[in-house]
Chains A and B, each alone.
Chain A
Amino acid sequence: SQFQESVFLQFLGLDKVPSPQTVQPVPSILKKIFQDREAAATTGDSHGLCYIKDLGIQGNILRLLLDQGRFLYPKKPSQASSCLQKLLYFNLSSITDKEELTMAQLGLDLGPTTYYKLGPELELALSLVEEPHVGDWPVPLPGKMLVLQSVPWPQGVVHFNLLRVAKGWRNNPWKNLGLLLEILVKGNRDVGVNFQLQDTCARLRRSLRASLLVVTLHPEQCHPSSRKRR
């Protein structure tokens, strides 16, 4: 029966029975799409499974990829105002060659009250890592800057479109060296604020969660006739 199970798992697109280490929270967008599909199934309306109305894009497989990166602790921060640095890494290998990437959205959960009552504003910088990490150098060299934006408080999840970047990683997997996330403090700081900031940066380090919502379209499961007419 184990053999038969593995055959069926292959049909589901899995190599073996998954054994997740921790139960991940399901993002509300995935919950809603799932519930809408269940409701459509009960009414016998199974059309439109290859168009995701909530996101306004074509696609039939949604994956929430978890960040497999790590926090960086440079001996000399790149800037005096650096609050934290993290290497973000997303493994796209589960996406098969036949699938067409239609969306890649980075979600950074900064925690709901991270910046509550925080004096200075923070700035978020996201850059592509383009050079392989060599030797004892603790921090990879940042490449092309993708995002540089202020982050006002209070915060929740901020999203960034990484479709072009993810397409590049899929075409050249060896180029997927991750992303360098840096959170900086804007403006001058006095001693009191500096103390508060250390606390904030430590809390931010604990609460920061990164994920990549990837949507793909499998052409064999989505025939042109079943696609939504524009």
Chain B
Amino acid sequence: EAVPAPQAFCRNLCHRHQLFINFRDLGWHKWIIAPKGFMANYCHGECPFSLTTSLNSSNYAFMQALMRAVDPEVPQAACIPTKLSPISMLYQDNDDNVILRHYEDMVVDECGCG
């Protein structure tokens, strides 16, 4: 029978958090025409061994968790992005040329233990 985990504990588990990158904060608004910013997100939280299988973990994370049980010097699996998506950016370079290109792996869509 499943025992419900305490609420505070669940909040600390590995999951995706919202992070909006505002180019103005970086001073990049002077050369990036669009977008003005984007929701990049980030991954944060714990990857306890007991929940390795339920936290979108890789096989590697599972093996690492097993090894950690044997050898405590092996670090715990980390909370990392497991699915990323690109964004397109429209900007001006130093020669005032207008450039449009897309950049891979800019947005965190999903997180997991790895």
Contacts and interface: CB of A to CB of B under 8 A. Distances in A.
A41 B86 contact: yes
A60 B95 CA distance: 20
Chief secondary structure at chain A's binding surface: loop
A38 interface: yes
B11 interface: no
Contact of A91 (B30, B95, B101): B95
A37 B26 CA distance: 24
A151 B83 CA distance: 52
A41 B85 contact: yes
A34 B27 CA distance: 22
A5 B95 CA distance: 20
Interface string B1-42: 000000000000000000000000011101101110000000
B98 A60 contact: no
Contact of A34 (B31, B86, B100, B107): B100
B30 to A, nearest CB: 7
A221 B100 contact: no
B91 interface: yes
Interface in B55-114: 85-104, 107, 109
Contacts of A24: 92, 96-98
B95 to A, nearest CB: 6
Q: Number of contact residues on A: which range applies?
A: 35 or more
Interface stretch (A10-18, A124-132, A161-169): A10-18
Interface residues of B, number: 30
A64 B99 contact: yes
A21 to B, nearest CB: 6
A62 B100 contact: yes
Given A27-B98, A64-B98, A64-B99, A18 B93 contact: yes
A18 B91 contact: yes
B52 to A, nearest CB: 27
Given A17-B28, A18-B31, A61 B101 contact: yes
B87 to A, nearest CB: 6
A41 B88 contact: yes
Contacts of A19: 30-31, 94
Contacts of A22: 96
B102 A62 contact: no
19 contacts: A15-B94, A18-B31, A18-B91, A18-B92, A20-B31, A20-B96, A22-B96, A26-B90, A30-B100, A34-B34, A38-B35, A44-B85, A44-B109, A46-B86, A49-B102, A62-B101, A63-B98, A63-B99, A65-B95
Given A20-B93, A24-B97, A41-B86, 11 more contacts: A18-B92, A19-B30, A19-B31, A24-B98, A26-B98, A60-B101, A63-B97, A63-B98, A65-B95, A221-B102, A221-B104
Interface of A: 5, 12-24, 26-27, 30-31, 33-34, 37-38, 41, 44, 46, 49, 60-66, 68, 91, 94, 221
